[in-house]
Amino acid sequence: MLRNARYAQSPIFRACHPDLPMSSSDYKHATHRLAALIQQARRNEAIAAKLFDIELDMLRATELSEFTDGLTEQVRDRFELDEVWFALTDIEDNRRILALLGEQGGLSERLLVGTVDFLRLTENSDAPVLSDNIRHLQQLIPRHLRTRIRSLALLPLQMEGRLVGALILGSGDAARYQPGMESFFLHQLAIKVSAGLTSIWAREQLRLLATRDPLTGLRNRRDLEAVLEQELGRSQRNEQPLALLFLDLDDFKTINDNWGHESGDACLVHVAQRMQSMMRREDSLFRFAGDEFIALLPGQTEERAEHIAERMKADLTSNPATAGDEPIAVSFSYGIACIRPEANKTADELLRLADQRLYDMKRRLAD
């Protein structure tokens, strides 16, 4: 009864029941209160709309780098922040994520990796952590931002129930994020990003299974067809040459016969790693079939491609594969095909030309 009586005297109750008698001061207070509630509801509606748009953009992403780069830019711009970045723990799953981002050219300065104890910072909760005392959180802030950021919101990210890092929102306003502030929408954003990250990573894993060689981790022949078409188009648009190296290991059957297939597989992995280490980020290396590899070298002439192939051969001589403690000498023959922007060669023509030149080299070595 007492509770009902108090509610009946409240400004909100009176504002909602104008037929009841009310003093002018009570009426003014109730009106201001109601206006504030309406304004807050509109702010909440605007935030919810922004979160919805961000979620749609996450769903549209077709690869991991598009997801991460687009997300950080969207959150930063829509919520008028100084910067938004990811901080990931140093675990095996994240190392695979980082490797893929490196291939796709994603994030760059918007990514930190380390042994941050997120369990301690978040108290093993998925609730956001807000802080205006960032002195003890310097390791979570990129170096180039440490003089600008005055407060931050740490949004824990989970994949398959495991804490893998955080999306961090940084502001130059010390009052923007403070402990004890309402964090409902930040919590919603953390949940959406965790779900989006889990989804895009699962799709990337499926794509990798279809386009990667399971032994060496290199792109496979199926992926070569798509990438080669893309690089041919880019070569013509940018008026840049494109070189293709067709590489075939010499006497690989002898390695399998003498050392066993397990050592042969280890040798292929070693060769793939050594070749990959000699290439630029924009280059692509594929396992074509068996002991055959193909390297796509955008912007390289035939002369430069030959120089790269000879460097790879010298590197394998200096860094042989091993079986136990014994070195296994590995070499390869190669064929080079190069197109210039004015040439209208197809992907099949380029492959056939490189294959023919590879055959010519092997025949010369056999004579």
Number of independent structural domains in the chain: 3
Which pair of structure tokens corresponds to residue 310?
């000879």
Residue 16 is given by DSSP the state: H
- CATH code, domain with 241: 3.30.70.270
Task: State mean pLDDT over 280-290.
Answer: 90
36 and 93 inside one domain: no
Task: State mean pLDDT over 258-278.
Answer: 91
pLDDT confidence tier of residue 22, bands split at 50, 70 and 90: low
Question: For residue 185, what pLDDT is reported?
Answer: 93
pLDDT at 240 over 80: yes
360 and 245 inside one domain: yes
Q: Which of 164, 181, 210 is the last residue of a domain?
A: 210
71 and 56 inside one domain: no
Q: Which of 58-62, 178-182, 205-209, 306-310 has the lowest mean pLDDT?
A: 205-209
The bridge status of strand 111-114 relative to strand 83-89 is parallel
Q: Which of 210, 239, 271 is the last residue of a domain?
A: 210
Q: Write out the residue range of the structural domain in which residue 237 sits.
A: 221-366
* Amino acid code (one letter) for 273: Q
Q: Which of 60, 84, 103 is the last residue of a domain?
A: 60
85 and 196 inside one domain: yes
Give pLDDT tens digits for 173-203.
Answer: 999 999 989 999 999 999 999 999 999 999 9
Q: Is residue 216 part of a domain?
A: no
Q: Is residue 348 part of a domain?
A: yes
Mean pLDDT of the chain: 84
250 and 271 inside one domain: yes
Q: Is residue 313 part of a domain?
A: yes
Q: Is residue 248 part of a domain?
A: yes
Give pLDDT tens digits for 32-85.
Answer: 777 777 877 888 888 888 999 999 999 999 888 899 999 999 999 999 999 999
Question: For residue 356, what pLDDT is reported?
Answer: 85
Q: Is residue 28 part of a domain?
A: yes
225 and 352 inside one domain: yes
pLDDT confidence tier of residue 236, bands split at 50, 70 and 90: confident
pLDDT at 274 over 60: yes
Contact 359, 248 (CB under 8 A): no
- In angstroms, the Cα distances linking 157 to 43, 90, 164, 310, 315 are 25, 14, 6, 46, 42
Total Cβ atoms within 10 A of residue 55: 18
- For 118, half-sphere exposure in the C-beta direction (CA atoms, 13 angstrom radius) is 26
Q: Is residue 149 part of a domain?
A: yes
